């Protein structure tokens, strides 16, 4: 008889990547604007490229398993943070996994929906029950709905803020209120993969929530604003005890040498990262104004993407690959990543 597998894994499906990934693998995407995956249109910063070149001769050696230098620059970039508050991982996905697997077995995880597709998958892998809470009618994040869904079975709440794929967000005072109202034994994971693209001047220093509360983790990534998606590196800011336990369960050497040196160099050049994020914010506004002028429904976004009611197949006719809305819970819509100026010009041309 073959081995018996856990029944909760039966519903899992293999990840289906965006069409652009498949086309690129087949050599068919070179002439298209690739606006599917919320990647930064620009390459890594020159400082990160130089760090990568310098690291290549050491590729035969294992890197620093503790990721000490990167932890240090992350702590220096976030006021009040010590290196003992910093989690690291193979993308922020591993940070989420390591935080969740610290919790008692079973129980429920509450999160808004539609949101990042990883959340229900993590629940299945860890033997937890997902509790998706529908977004509000205007696609806003349902803070009250989240709190109402919390029971004695709740182990964690995950809040993608800004939310992918809607682009909507909770203001910082709303996030603080949510954190204050949650029971102390419920972990709040604030997934801030897109935080650099928030143009709300009051949304600053959100990481302080993890320093002020024993049940809050703030997860961030180098895949978006830093332009290092291909290297898979993320980090979290957490209470010292939680960060310590997360390091105990982290897979050894999960952050490779290239990821460590590139992310460190990029964080040290964060003023340049901020300038790139400012470009994305400005051109996000330009795209949204164009959607409005074309009488297209869209969701005002705080991410590096905009959800618009315009078919992916129509964009493809104009040489633009976007994420099909049906895969994200928005049939008939498309999620359009904000690209460089030329790519965004093509988007505007396609809808005109």
List the one residue out of 303, 35, 70 whose CA is nearest residue 192: 303
pLDDT of residue 92: 98
Cβ distance 308 to 336 under 8 Å? yes
Q: Quote the pLDDT of residue 202.
A: 97
- Any domain includes 49: no
Average pLDDT over all residues of the chain: 96
Please indicate, yes or no, whether residues 126 and 252 belong to a single structural domain of this protein: yes
Please check whether residues 181 and 301 belong to one and the same domain: no
pLDDT tens digits for 202-217?
999 999 999 999 999 9
Considering the domain architecture, whether residues 241 and 187 belong to the same structural domain is answered as yes
Residue 31 has a pLDDT of 85
User: Residue 257 pLDDT > 80, yes or no?
Assistant: yes
Percent of the chain predicted with pLDDT > 70 = 100
Task: Give per-residue pLDDT as tens, 81-116.
Answer: 999 999 999 999 999 999 999 999 999 999 999 999
**pLDDT score at 61:** 97
Same domain, 78 and 180: yes
Where does the pLDDT of residue 11 fall: very low under 50, low under 70, confident under 90, or very high at 90 and above?
A: confident
pTM of the model: 0.96
Tokens of 114: 């539609």
157 and 84 share one domain = yes
Give how many domains the chain has, as a whole number.
2
> What does the pLDDT read at residue 45?
98
Say yes or no: 293 and 324 in one domain. Answer: yes
Residue 344 has pLDDT above 90, yes or no: yes
pLDDT tens figures, 140-171: 999 999 999 999 999 999 999 999 999 999 99
Do 204 and 312 lie in a common domain?
no
Which residue, 260, 262, 199, 193, is CA-closest to 221? Answer: 193
Query: Quick check: is 1 in a domain?
Result: no
Using pLDDT thresholds of 50, 70 and 90, give the confidence band for residue 56. very high
In a domain, 103, yes or no: yes
- Range of the structural domain that residue 286 is part of: 7-44+271-351
252 plus 290 within the same structural domain? no
Query: What average pLDDT does this structure show over 130-147?
Result: 98
- Choosing from 269, 289, 311, the residue where a domain stops is 269
- pLDDT at 326 > cutoff 80: yes
User: Which of 269, 286, 312 finishes a domain?
Assistant: 269
pLDDT above 80: residue 262: yes
Domain finish residue from 269, 301, 332: 269
At 316, is the pLDDT very low, low, confident or very high (cuts 50, 70, 90)? Answer: very high
With respect to residue 311, please indicate whether it lies within any of the assigned structural domains. yes
User: Domain containing 308 — which CATH number?
Assistant: 3.90.1150.10
Alpha helices per DSSP H over the chain: 19-25, 46-55, 68-77, 92-100, 118-126, 143-149, 172-181, 208-212, 240-249, 257-268, 270-293, 312-317, 341-351
- Report the alpha-carbon distance of residue 201 to residue 279 in Å, rounded: 16
In a domain? residue 317? yes
Same domain, residue pair 164 and 38? no
- Is the CA virtual torsion 317, 318, 320, 324 positive or negative? negative
Stretch among 28-37, 202-211, 299-308 having the lowest mean pLDDT: 28-37
Say if 133 falls within a structural domain: yes
CA–CA distances in Å: residue 308 to residues 23, 124, 136, 315, 351: 23, 31, 17, 11, 11
Residue 23, pLDDT score:
76
């Amino acid at each position: 008889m073959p081995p018996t597998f856990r029944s909760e894994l039966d519903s899992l499906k293999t990840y289906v990547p965006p069409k652009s990934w498949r086309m690129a693998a087949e050599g068919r995407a070179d002439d298209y604007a690739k606006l599917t995956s919320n990647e930064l249109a620009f390459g890594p910063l020159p400082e990160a490229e130089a760090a990568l070149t310098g690291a290549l001769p050491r590729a035969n050696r294992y890197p620093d398993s503790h990721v000490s230098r990167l932890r240090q620059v992350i702590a220096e970039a976030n006021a009040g943070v010590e290196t003992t508050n910093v989690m690291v991982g193979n993308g922020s996905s591993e940070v989420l996994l390591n935080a969740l697997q610290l919790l008692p077995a079973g129980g429920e995880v509450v999160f808004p929906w539609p949101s990042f597709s990883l959340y229900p998958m993590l629940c299945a892998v860890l033997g937890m029950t997902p509790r998706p809470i529908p977004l509000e009618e205007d696609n806003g994040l349902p803070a009250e709905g989240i709190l109402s869904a919390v029971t004695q079975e709740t182990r964690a709440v995950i809040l993608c803020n800004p939310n992918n794929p809607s682009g909507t967000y909770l203001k910082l005072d709303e996030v603080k209120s949510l954190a204050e109202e949650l029971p102390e034994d419920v972990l709040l994971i604030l997934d801030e993969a897109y935080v650099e693209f928030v143009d709300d001047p009051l949304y600053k220093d959100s990481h302080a929530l993890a320093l002020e509360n024993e049940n809050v983790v703030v997860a961030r990534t180098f895949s978006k604003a830093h332009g290092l998606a291909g290297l898979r590196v993320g980090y979290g800011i957490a209470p010292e005890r939680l960060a310590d336990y997360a390091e105990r369960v982290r897979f050894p050497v999960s952050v490779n040498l290239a990821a460590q040196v590139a992310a460190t160099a990029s964080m040290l050049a964060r003023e340049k990262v901020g300038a790139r994020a400012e470009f994305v914010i400005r051109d996000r506004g330009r795209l949204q104004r164009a959607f409005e002028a074309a009488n297209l429904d869209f969701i005002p976004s705080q991410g590096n993407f905009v959800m618009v009611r315009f078919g992916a197949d129509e964009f493809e006719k104009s040489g633009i690959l976007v994420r099909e809305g049906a895969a994200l819970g928005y049939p008939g819509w498309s999620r359009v990543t904000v690209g460089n100026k030329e790519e965004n010009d093509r988007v505007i041309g396609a809808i005109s």
